[in-house]
Structure 1
Amino acid sequence: MTDTRLRVMPATRLPAWLDRTMAEYVASRMQAGETREQAEANKQKSLDQWFPDGSPADGHLVWDVLDQDDTAVGYLWIGPFAPGGTDWWVFDVEIDEPHRRRGHARRALELGHRAAAEHGATSIGLNVFGYNTGAQELYAALGYQVTATQMQKPLV
């Protein structure tokens, strides 16, 4: 077990983080097969729903993931999938490249699970793109189960 901890992301860091995570979201959706226009539309929908006025929606939690030296090595964002709901979602979890494969993501998710339960969540889900096999392995090891599979075949 690592000495990984979560700290509420300071409001001063939120705008830069939001820009970064949304840019990564667009890139991931494009890598998964969407056009830039589709990915940008999905980004805007997410921002409108989950970050109205640039702040997390009610009940959403955004943390810095800290290592044993209190250095931010990544982030975790969780919250209810519907306002006031008990079904929660891992909207984003990312550990910076130099700090991966040290247990930070696993521990951050475990801490996030506990916080979600303390806030009344009865389940937590997530989406993982098909190309991200390392993340799929971690989620399976944490007890996540596949609830749906989307498949696509390019025709050109």
Structure 2
Amino acid sequence: MTDAQFTTYRETAEQEYAQQAADSGAMSLPEALKKATDDFARLLPDGPASPEQFLWRAYADDADVGMIWLHITSRTAYIFDIVVDESHRRHGYGRAIMRAAEELCRDRGVESIGLNVFGRNAGARALYEQEGYEITSVQMRKRL
């Protein structure tokens, strides 16, 4: 991911993450926006050049179809974000992006990959389960 692509990505990603957090009931939208800004600043202080952070764009032929943000430490990895652009969804690109990340992780000796998915994102949850991801915890909330 280039610096210019990162700038564009960060502008939308912070907003989308905050909206999902607010929609989940975890916090108010203003709190979620502040958390998103703080998290990005902490995790990506040098943008795509930040240590242990890997941000890639995915291409099919010449078409830019999506991206992944992967954090790799010695034996574990964590997917902070994976996006397939709306016009390219349901064509297997999300699965291909995840498998490419897994291959890179295996080559680096990584033993497991984790991720978080908001409960309302049924499509992403289904994909992750099909790809062998297991539920490691469940948080639940009842709105009053």
The normalised TM-score by structure 2 is 0.91
**Conservation of the 8 A alpha-carbon contact between 1:75 and 1:95:** yes
In the alignment, structure 1 segments of 5+ residues that lack a partner are 1-8
**Conservation of the 8 A alpha-carbon contact between 1:74 and 1:94:** yes
- 2:40 corresponds to 1:47: yes
* Identical pairs, percent: 31
Relative to 1, partners in 2 of residues 1:13 and 1:63: Cα closer, same or farther, differing over 3 Å? same
Residue of structure 2 equivalent to 1:121: 110
**Conservation of the 8 A alpha-carbon contact between 1:26 and 1:36:** yes
Superposition RMSD in Å: 1.5
Read off the aligned partner of 1:60 and give its amino acid letter.
Answer: Q
**Conservation of the 8 A alpha-carbon contact between 1:87 and 1:121:** yes
**Conservation of the 8 A alpha-carbon contact between 2:3 and 2:47:** no
Residue 22 (structure 2) aligned to one of 30, 50, 63: 30
CA deviation profile, 1:96-148 (whole Å, cap 9, x unmatched): 11110000000000001111222332110100111111111100010000000
Larger mean Cα displacement after TM superposition, 34-43 or 128-137: 34-43
State the aligned residue count. 143
Residue 78 (structure 1) aligned to one of 70, 91, 96: 70
Read off the aligned partner of 1:26 and give its amino acid letter.
Answer: A
SS at 2:58 equivalent: strand
- d(CA) in 2 for partners of 1:39, 1:16: 19
Matches within 5 A, 1:134-149: 134-149=123-138
- d(CA) in 1 for partners of 2:128, 2:137: 14
In the alignment, structure 2 segments of 5+ residues that lack a partner are none
The normalised TM-score by structure 1 is 0.84
- d(CA) in 2 for partners of 1:55, 1:88: 16
Shift of 1:57: 2.8
Residue 21 (structure 1) aligned to one of 5, 13, 38: 13
Larger mean Cα displacement after TM superposition, 52-61 or 19-28: 52-61
Matches within 5 A, 1:90-105: 90-105=79-94
SS at 1:109 equivalent: helix
